[in-house]
């Protein structure tokens, strides 16, 4: 692209709808980006509300949820660069249901950040020249590697993420009901229920399904232990902007079985072997059964995620952030790229 990485430190305001201390993915992203940008020499303030404070560059997570802050910044500081990071709900829901605020945010942004490699195919073509693809990173794990042995009594499968419609969070549990009686598969789901309805569904599933347990919201160290004890991770979402848990699994060498959606293909690639049709309970059950009983298939998945691990390093994520800043600065200043 020929972008020049900004040489001077900038005062950056980053807005996210997730409050401090939240374990929501967007808060984790904001906190990680703050650290990476500060390591690059910038000064970063993360806020959940914006009242028009000055800064050198404004970075918004969510085109739709942050649209009021985005337009306030653009109105007050028309000469300042603006970066908008697109989430899965922005791309696959809000731009269609609420096009005016969502597409309006994309329009006024100088640079857009997409979190998987197919985002450019899923947003209006007019915005593609301002898109930077950024793969969210995960640290190098030192305590778990994705097991391939068969010494445990269970074949443990994990599902990670808040329980909500977009995640199709109980699909693996429902698939486990269809497995042969002698299957050793057990599903562990970790994540906060989005509302009382999802809490009721999870508790009911635990009561009715001996293969399923819901662990609720876990601390980071407990999530790491859960991944360490698992043979497979299921990513069952019906829409995703680029799930960080997939990055973590790849860095850990933990095989992934993923719904065949753009957000997963944009991370794992078109040739990845572990897809199943989104929402297809029987197909997921068949894929889980194959992973349990076909050592060659499980090893293939582990080799594939292992080859992808280098895509999700903090160093590459930091470089992509700096490229997004550079693109925004250059477009706002009118420089030719």
User: For 57-106, how does the pLDDT look when each residue is reduced to its tens digit (9 = 90+)?
Assistant: 999 999 999 999 999 999 999 999 999 999 999 999 999 999 999 999 99
> Residue 65 in contact with residue 49, Cβ under 8 Å?
no
**pLDDT at position 153, please?**
81
Give CA–CA dist 5/327, Å, rounded: 9
CA–CA separation, 180 and 177 (whole Å): 8
Residues 259-312 have pLDDT tens digits of 999 999 999 999 999 999 999 999 999 999 999 999 999 999 999 999 999 999
Position 20 scores a pLDDT of 72
Mean pLDDT, residues 193-211: 97
Segment 3-19 shows an average pLDDT of 80
Contact 176, 187 (CB under 8 A): yes
Domain 155-311 grouped into CATH 3.40.50.2000: yes
Q: Note the pLDDT of residue 152.
A: 59
Residues 31-52 have pLDDT tens digits of 999 999 999 999 999 999 999 9
pLDDT of the residue at 7: 59
Cβ atoms of 146 and 305 closer than 8 Å: yes
Distance of CA 94 to the CA centre of its chain: 17
Say what the pLDDT of residue 250 is: 97
pTM > 0.95: no
How do the domains of the chain map onto residue ranges? 11-136+313-333, 155-311
By mean pLDDT, which of 26-30, 125-129, 257-261 is the weakest? 26-30
Q: Is the pLDDT of residue 228 over 50?
A: yes
Distance in angstroms (rounded) separating the CA atoms of residues 331 and 315: 24
Q: What is the pLDDT at residue 147?
A: 52
What is the rounded distance in angstroms from the CA atom of residue 49 to the CA atom of residue 334? 29
pLDDT attached to residue 197: 97
The reported pLDDT for the residue numbered 1 is: 46
pLDDT of residue 141: 62
Q: What does DSSP assign to residue 113?
A: E
- The number of residues in the chain equals 337
**pLDDT over 90 percentage in the chain:** 88
For residues 304 and 311, the answer to whether their CB atoms sit within 8 Å is no
> Is the pLDDT reported for residue 4 higher than 90?
no
> Is residue 337 very low, low, confident or very high in pLDDT (cuts 50, 70, 90)?
very low
- Residue 150 predicted with pLDDT over 60: no
Q: Within 13 A of 142's CA, how many CA atoms are on the CB side?
A: 0
Identify the band that residue 336 occupies on the pLDDT scale cut at 50, 70 and 90: very low
pLDDT band at 15 (very low <50, low <70, confident <90, very high): very high
CB count within 10 Å of CB 42 equals: 20
Amino acid 2: pLDDT? 53
Token couple for 200:
């009721």
- Look at residue 334 in the predicted model and tell me its pLDDT: 81
The architecture in CATH of the region 11-136+313-333 reads: 3-Layer(aba) Sandwich (3.40)
Residue 146: the pLDDT is 46
The two structure tokens encoding residue 170: 């109980």
Both tokens assigned to 206: 């635990």
Q: Which residue has the tokens 């057990």?
A: 186
- Average pLDDT in the chain: 92
Residue 281: both structure tokens together: 């309970």
pLDDT given at position 21: 65
**282's tokens:** 């029987």
pLDDT band at 26; cut points 50, 70, 90: confident
């Amino acid at each position: 692209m020929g972008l020049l990485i900004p040489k001077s430190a900038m005062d950056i305001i980053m807005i996210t709808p997730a409050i401090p201390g939240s374990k929501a993915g967007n808060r984790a992203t904001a906190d990680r980006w703050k650290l990476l940008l500060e390591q690059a020499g910038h000064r970063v303030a993360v806020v959940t509300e914006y009242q028009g404070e000055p800064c050198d560059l404004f970075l918004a997570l969510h085109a739709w949820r942050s649209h009021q802050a985005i337009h306030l910044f653009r109105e007050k500081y028309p000469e300042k660069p603006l970066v908008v990071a697109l989430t899965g709900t922005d791309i696959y829901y809000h731009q269609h249901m609420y096009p005016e605020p969502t597409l309006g945010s994309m329009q006024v942004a100088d640079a857009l950040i997409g979190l998987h490699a197919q985002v450019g195919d899923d947003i209006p073509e007019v915005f593609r020249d301002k898109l930077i693809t950024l793969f969210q990173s995960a640290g190098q794990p030192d305590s778990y590697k994705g097991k391939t042995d068969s010494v445990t009594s269970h074949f443990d499968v994990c599902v990670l993420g808040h329980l909500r419609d977009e995640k199709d969070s109980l699909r693996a549990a429902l698939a486990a009901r269809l497995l042969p009686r002698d299957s050793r598969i057990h599903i562990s789901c970790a994540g906060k229920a989005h509302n009382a309805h999802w809490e009721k569904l999870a508790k009911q599933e635990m009561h009715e399904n001996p293969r399923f347990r819901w662990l609720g919201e876990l601390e980071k160290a407990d999530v790491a232990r859960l991944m360490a004890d698992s043979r497979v991770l299921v990513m069952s979402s019906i829409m995703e902007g680029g799930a960080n848990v997939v990055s973590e699994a790849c860095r850990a060498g933990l095989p992934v079985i993923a719904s065949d959606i753009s957000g997963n293909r944009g991370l794992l690639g078109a040739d990845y072997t572990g897809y199943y049709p989104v929402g297809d309970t029987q197909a997921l059950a068949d894929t889980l059964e194959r992973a349990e009983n076909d050592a060659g298939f499980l090893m293939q998945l582990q080799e594939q995620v292992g080859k992808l691990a280098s895509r999700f390093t903090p160093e590459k994520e930091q470089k992509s952030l700096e490229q997004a800043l550079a693109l925004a600065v250059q477009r706002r200043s009118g420089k030719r790229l």
